[in-house]
Chain A
Amino acid sequence: MSTNGQNGDGLIQLSAKDFKTDQEVRWCPGCGDYAILAAVQSFMPELAIPRERIVFISGIGCAARFPYYMQTYGMHSIHGRAPAIATGLSTSRPDLSVWVVTGDGDALSIGGNHLIHALRRNVNITILLFNNQVYGLTKGQYSPTSPVGQRTGSTPMGSIDHPFNPLSVALGAEATFVARSIDTDRKHLTEVLRAAAGHKGAAFVEVYQNCNVYNDGAFDFVREDKENRIRLEHGKPIRFGAEDEKGVRLRVDGSAEVVDVAEVGEDALLVHDAHADEPSIAFALSRLTRDTVGAAPIGVFRDVARPVYDELLQEQIEAATEKSGPGELEALLHSGDTWTIS
Chain B
Amino acid sequence: MAKPVEQLDQVVIRFAGDSGDGMQLTGGRFTSETAILGNDLSTLPDFPAEIRAPAGSLPGVSGFQIHFSDHDILTPGDNPHVLVAMNPAALRTNIKDLSRGGTLIVNADAFTDRNLEKAGYTISPLGDGSLDEYQVHAVPLTSLTIEALKEFDVTKREAERSKNMFALGLMSWLFTRPTEGTVQFLEKKFASKPEIANANIKAFRAGYAFGETSEAFTAQYEVKPAKLRPGTYRNVTGNQALTMGLVAAGVQSGLPLFLGAYPITPASGILEELSRYKHFGIRTFQAEDEIAAVGAALGASFGGALGVTTSSGPGVVLKMETIGLAVALELPLLILDIQRAGPATGMPTKPEQADLLLVLYGRHAESPVPVVAASTPGGCFDAAIEAARIALKYRTPVFLLSDAYLANGSEPWSIPDVSTLPDISTEFADQPNHEGQFQPYLRDAETLARPWAVPGTPGLEHRIGGLEKADGTGNVSYDPDNHEYMVRIRARKVAGIAADIPELEVGGDEDADLLVAGWGGTYGPIAAAVRRVRKDGGKVAHAHFTHLNPLPRNTEEVLRRYDKVLVPEMNLGQLSKVLRAEFLIDAVSYNKVRGLPFTSGELAEAIEGLL
Interface residues in chain A, defined as those with a beta carbon under 8 Å from any beta carbon in chain B: 21, 23, 50-55, 57, 60, 67-68, 70-78, 81, 84-93, 95-96, 113-114, 117, 313, 316-317, 319-321, 323-327, 329-330, 332-334, 336-342
Contacts and interface: CB of A to CB of B under 8 A. Distances in A.
B233 A333 contact: no
Given A92-B303, A337-B35, A340-B231, A323 B279 contact: yes
Interface of B: 32, 35-36, 38, 181, 225, 227-235, 244, 247-248, 251, 256, 258, 260, 277-283, 285, 287-289, 291-292, 295-305, 307, 321-322, 325, 329, 415-416, 418, 455-467, 475-476
A340 B251 contact: no
A337 B185 CA distance: 11
Contacts, number: 204
Nearest to B475: A23
Nearest to A338: B234
28 contacts: A52-B458, A53-B456, A57-B299, A68-B465, A68-B476, A73-B461, A78-B466, A81-B295, A85-B295, A87-B285, A88-B285, A92-B304, A92-B305, A93-B300, A96-B455, A317-B283, A326-B281, A327-B279, A329-B251, A329-B418, A332-B244, A336-B235, A337-B181, A339-B35, A339-B232, A340-B233, A341-B225, A341-B229
A266 to B, nearest CB: 45
A84 B292 contact: yes
A327 B300 contact: no
B247 A327 contact: yes
Given A85-B299, A327-B277, A117 B292 contact: yes
A333 B415 contact: yes
B498 to A, nearest CB: 30
Given A91-B300, A95-B456, A72 B461 contact: yes
A316 B278 contact: yes
Nearest to B288: A117
Contacts of B458: 50, 52
B287 to A, nearest CB: 7
Given A67-B463, A68-B465, A339-B35, A324 B303 contact: no
Contacts of A67: 463, 465
Contacts of A54: 455
A320 B463 CA distance: 36
Contact of A87 (B256, B282, B296): B296
Contacts of A73: 455, 461-463
Nearest to B305: A92
Given A52-B457, A341-B225, 17 more contacts: A23-B476, A73-B461, A74-B463, A78-B325, A84-B291, A88-B296, A89-B455, A91-B296, A92-B283, A321-B281, A327-B247, A332-B247, A333-B248, A337-B36, A339-B233, A341-B229, A341-B230
| B interface, over-half SS | mixed
B456 A93 contact: yes
A328 to B, nearest CB: 9
B415 A338 contact: yes
B363 to A, nearest CB: 12
B181 A88 contact: no
Contacts of A117: 287-288, 292
A74 to B, nearest CB: 4
A333 B418 contact: yes
Given A113-B292, A338-B234, A92 B258 contact: yes
Contacts of A86: 299
B590 to A, nearest CB: 35
B468 to A, nearest CB: 12
A78 B323 CA distance: 11
A327 B248 CA distance: 11
